[in-house]
Structure 1
Amino acid sequence: MNNNKVLIIDDEPDLLKLLSITLNRMGIECDTAHNVASAKTKIDQNDYRLCLTDMRLPDGNGLTLVDYFIERQPDSPIAVITAHGNMETAIEAMKRGAFDFISKPVDLANLRAVINSALNVSTVQSHSDSKANPGLSRLIGQTPEVESLKQIILKVAKSQAPVYIKGESGTGKELVANLIHENSPRKSQPFIAINCGAIPNELMESEFFGHKKGSFTGASSDKEGLFKAADGGTLFLDEIADLPMPMQVKLLRAIQERSVRPVGSEVEIPVDVRLLSASHKNLAKLVSENLFRQDLFYRINVIEVQVPALRDRSKDIPELVSHFIKQLSNRNDIEPPKIDPKVLETLESYSFPGNIRELENIIERAITLSSGEMITVDDIFLHSAAKAQSHDTVQSQRKSQSLDEYLETIERQELLSALEQTKGNKTAAAELLGISFRAMRYKCKKHLIDD
């Protein structure tokens, strides 16, 4: 088997020749086919490191070949060639497992980038056993929910398709994004993460796409932007639901054209990024309410990964507690405390609205407040107990308050509680409460909660 041998399938002789010459100059041997029937014959008779197929062939649809190739050579990637503007077909191909797509007319720089990424996909290491992959050790847990998530991470890591990571606040969506990157062909390139809710509207375009010196007040020098910083690697857009509509339009164009235009520039800059995004909000619901663009939703949601809530994997809590105790003890240079078994029982029966982030904060607070060598139930101060006490206090105040005053009191208590759980981190507190960072900042100002 020639490890660099590639199969190219297209019914246009000129394009087939151009692709073959380009790959030959990269030192890659090619086989060619001009229709579905001849392609299937060659797939049955040869092993290929990569397959490139057109979507429209004289005797069938390229999607048929995507399924056929993946079934027979599952460890090798297949990329599709599609007419410019026909994104629906490219997205459908990636949903079926295609590695990436190339638009016609073919841009040779983009073609070479796709080829190089595809050839970096390992065909030696088996991806069937997540326990054999030490790179997933940061995803703590052994429950079926976690093992399934690990398998999904390894599977989607081999693709270039955009991934939407869905899950409640505090479940570890950024960790999942990082692990997808670390197990992908782009692992040696940058991983850039940004919280969309934390960027002021007026700076968003500059942050994403960069700007030229003098393009606006305060632009004292050129800036490359997040897309360019992630060039060759992975860009993770957390809380993508917080993007304002005008920015959603610009993001969609950047994704489709694979290029960005810095603020104040007349020139498009090509970028090669794998896009991952996440939100704790229901994007499909936001689309139905016209608060998120449907075309952008379909473009970023080619593959959806669900991160389970901690209450759905409560049997992982003892291992997570042990991990956090060891981590925090090492950080603070102290002897790790023991833990009362009743603490684990209590934690396993708790619903954890703040998920793993809340568990980490509980353990950190318990280590700080524990007076002995063992963490007891009295040291963990679960949020539910604090909330019950807060509720009793508010109820006693209700008799002397109007409804508006009463609701304001509840809102202030929830803000303070979230800030306490996140050690004053407003971005994390906003995620815990299910609101944007801008809304969090406004509400803190309204309630005179200091920065």
Structure 2
Amino acid sequence: MSNPQTGASHAAPMAGAHLLVVDDDTDMLRLLTMRLTAAGYRVSTAGSAEAALTQLDIERPQLVLSDVRLPGRDGLALFGDIRERHPSLPVILLTAHGTIPDAVDATERGVFTYLTKPFDGKALLEKIAQALALSAPAPAAQRGDEDWHAEIISRSSRMAETLAEARMVAQTDASVLLRGESGTGKELLAQAIHRLSNRRNKPFIAVNCGAIPEALLESELFGHVKGAFTDAVANHKGLFQAAEGGTLLLDEIGDMPPALQIKLLRVLQERVLRPLGSSQSIAVDVRIISATHRDLDDAMAQGQFRADLYYRLNVVTLSLPPLAERREDIPLLANHFLAKLAAKYNKRLSGFAPEALKTLSTAAWPGNVRQLFNVVEQVCALSSTPLIPLALVQRALRMPSVEILSLAQARQRFEREYLVGLLKLTDGNVADAARLADRNRTEFYRLMQKHELTPGHFKPEPSDTED
């Protein structure tokens, strides 16, 4: 193995992460150990595939870094054994040019990445840090006694703050308003609050106020009695009664019609409701969580949302950040969804190719976590290899392989390139260029000015000649 070049890594290592380095070159093992230890890692070494497997039986590292060329069983065979015994353990291969095709094939089967020799030490540290970040288990706060929000996959500080606030408010009966763009997980957070509350053993019911026609929404919420309207052939309990003792999530509350806002306010104030067509009032004990992607302050200013209802619902506000503001969660979420969907589609999928994961992490995500799930489901359904390739992710994201321009932009670009070509051809002679373009000089000058072209830039440089 060649000696890695020196260079500081910009990727901060996980504190004390344990790495297993496998190589039959004792000098290289010593050099890599020094380098990785200096970078903050704890390092074990092995001189062969057999020794590495024995080491894995003794203590499980968080990453294996192995040369491809080893005595006896080579690094590719070692990877096969690791994949069989420890499917989630990331492996990085170091390969010479002669074994690059084998290493490329190994990435199809789940190797995190490979580096060709001689490799850059900075690149090695960055790849190790990436592999550790992607394969790290969810923070302890998401396990054990914290399984109340186990379905909210995150390691971002923004989400941690929101969850800390949710934990405090869950113990009360205060009404909660969840703000956030569509697809950020407002319903998941509402379920988590219910799960931690004193109402956890009672129903949790969610209703999308914008998805039910206005004529039916009142009946859905408050119920009706037989004969209340033409199709009311039997008594019907509304969602408030169905959620008795538990939690009712009023999703997209900003889309609730004004007439129903008045009736909802009355129920919240008096804790009683009257089903459609009934003369009897019914007491209800329900905790209200509402959610919206709309700006309710703006809706109130435009008279579309009642201020008194807003203040009744908005005792505590929790805001969920868009996915673009918690990008550190994207690899974690993508791999979580992949594992979940691989089981659904009965496929053996080991993860995403590094470039595919990088593309996911830098995409715009206007649809937030919901859009990410849909993209992962599409690549999962279409993938024919264990490792999801970049091309499949680009296809799912509908990323064009060529630049798409509007007609006006295309005309503008063609016109400029056409003028540049003429001026190059005529060495900046405007009269000749205008004649070739079948335009008068005044018009040609106007076109050059439009595209900020100067004839002098196209005149040939004067060359020095000896007398």
Residue 325 of structure 2 corresponds to residue 312 of structure 1: yes
Matches of 2:370 and 2:384, distance apart in 1: 24
Q: Quick one: which of 158, 161, 166 aligns to 1:153?
A: 166
Partner amino acid, structure 2, of 1:299: R
Matches of 1:393 and 1:272, distance apart in 2: 57
Structure (1 or 2) with the larger CA radius of gyration: 2
Q: In the alignment, which residue of structure 2 is the partner of 1:81?
A: none
Alpha carbons 1:337, 1:367 under 8 Å: kept: no
Q: In the alignment, which residue of structure 1 is the partner of 2:275?
A: 262
Alpha carbons 1:195, 1:238 under 8 Å: kept: yes
Cα deviation, 1:162-219, whole Å, max 9, x if unaligned, reads: 1000000100000000000000000000001011111111111111100000110000
- C-alpha change, 1:278 and 1:389, in structure 2 (3 Å) is farther
Alpha carbons 2:272, 2:282 under 8 Å: kept: yes
Give, in angstroms, the shift of residue 336 of structure 1.
Answer: 2.2
Cα deviation, 1:105-147, whole Å, max 9, x if unaligned, reads: xxxxxxxxxxxxxxxxxxxxxxxx6764122211101111121
RMSD between aligned residues: 2.4
Q: In the alignment, which residue of structure 1 is the partner of 2:387?
A: 374
Matches of 1:256 and 1:171, distance apart in 2: 30
Cα deviation, 1:404-449, whole Å, max 9, x if unaligned, reads: xxxxxxxxxxxxxxxxxxxxxxxxxxxxxxxxxxxxxxxxxxxxxx
- C-alpha change, 1:386 and 1:208, in structure 2 (3 Å) is same
Q: Quick one: which of 268, 271, 276 aligns to 2:289?
A: 276
Q: Quick one: which of 141, 156, 169 aligns to 2:154?
A: 141
Partner amino acid, structure 1, of 2:392: D
Residue 165 of structure 2 corresponds to residue 180 of structure 1: no
Residue 177 of structure 2 corresponds to residue 164 of structure 1: yes
Residue 240 of structure 2 corresponds to residue 227 of structure 1: yes
Give, in angstroms, the shift of residue 321 of structure 1.
Answer: 1.0
Alpha carbons 1:130, 1:154 under 8 Å: kept: no
Cα deviation, 1:337-375, whole Å, max 9, x if unaligned, reads: 431011121111112111001111111111122232211
Matches of 2:402 and 2:287, distance apart in 1: 47
SS at match of 1:278: strand
Alpha carbons 2:349, 2:387 under 8 Å: kept: no
Matches of 1:248 and 1:167, distance apart in 2: 21
Give, in angstroms, the shift of residue 388 of structure 1.
Answer: 9.3
Q: In the alignment, which residue of structure 2 is the partner of 1:198?
A: 211
Question: After the TM superposition, which of the residue ranges 184-193 and 348-357 deviates more from structure 2?
Answer: 348-357
SS at match of 2:210: helix
Give, in angstroms, the shift of residue 393 of structure 1.
Answer: 7.1
Residue 253 of structure 2 corresponds to residue 240 of structure 1: yes
Partner amino acid, structure 1, of 2:374: N
Give, in angstroms, the shift of residue 233 of structure 1.
Answer: 0.3
Give, in angstroms, the shift of residue 324 of structure 1.
Answer: 0.2
Residue 340 of structure 2 corresponds to residue 324 of structure 1: no
- C-alpha change, 1:260 and 1:309, in structure 2 (3 Å) is same
Alpha carbons 2:223, 2:276 under 8 Å: kept: yes
Alpha carbons 1:130, 1:147 under 8 Å: kept: no
Matches of 1:212 and 1:388, distance apart in 2: 59
Q: In the alignment, which residue of structure 2 is the partner of 1:287?
A: 300
Matches of 1:394 and 1:193, distance apart in 2: 46
Matches of 1:277 and 1:395, distance apart in 2: 45
- C-alpha change, 1:323 and 1:246, in structure 2 (3 Å) is same
Q: Which runs of 5+ in 1 are unaligned?
A: 1-128, 399-451
Residue 373 of structure 2 corresponds to residue 363 of structure 1: no
Alpha carbons 1:140, 1:320 under 8 Å: kept: yes
Give, in angstroms, the shift of residue 395 of structure 1.
Answer: 6.8
Following TM superposition, the consecutive aligned residue runs of length 4 or more in structure 1 with deviations greater than 3 angstroms are 129-132, 382-398
Partner amino acid, structure 1, of 2:212: I
Partner amino acid, structure 2, of 1:274: R
Per the normalisation by structure 2, the TM-score is 0.55
Partner amino acid, structure 2, of 1:165: L
Q: In the alignment, which residue of structure 2 is the partner of 1:347?
A: 360
Q: Quick one: which of 298, 305, 321 aligns to 2:311?
A: 298
Q: Which runs of 5+ in 2 are unaligned?
A: 1-140, 412-467
Q: In the alignment, which residue of structure 1 is the partner of 2:123?
A: none
Give, in angstroms, the shift of residue 387 of structure 1.
Answer: 7.5
Matches of 1:298 and 1:323, distance apart in 2: 38
Per the normalisation by structure 1, the TM-score is 0.57
Alpha carbons 2:296, 2:305 under 8 Å: kept: yes
Identity, % of aligned positions: 41
Partner amino acid, structure 2, of 1:175: L
Matches of 2:297 and 2:401, distance apart in 1: 34
SS at match of 1:363: helix
- C-alpha change, 1:130 and 1:337, in structure 2 (3 Å) is closer
- C-alpha change, 1:261 and 1:133, in structure 2 (3 Å) is same
Q: In the alignment, which residue of structure 1 is the partner of 2:88?
A: none
Partner amino acid, structure 1, of 2:377: E
Cα deviation, 1:281-320, whole Å, max 9, x if unaligned, reads: 1111101111111111111011000011111110111111
- C-alpha change, 1:326 and 1:392, in structure 2 (3 Å) is same
Number of residues of Structure 1 aligned to a counterpart in Structure 2: 272
SS at match of 2:308: helix
- C-alpha change, 1:144 and 1:255, in structure 2 (3 Å) is same
SS at match of 2:221: helix
SS at match of 2:360: helix
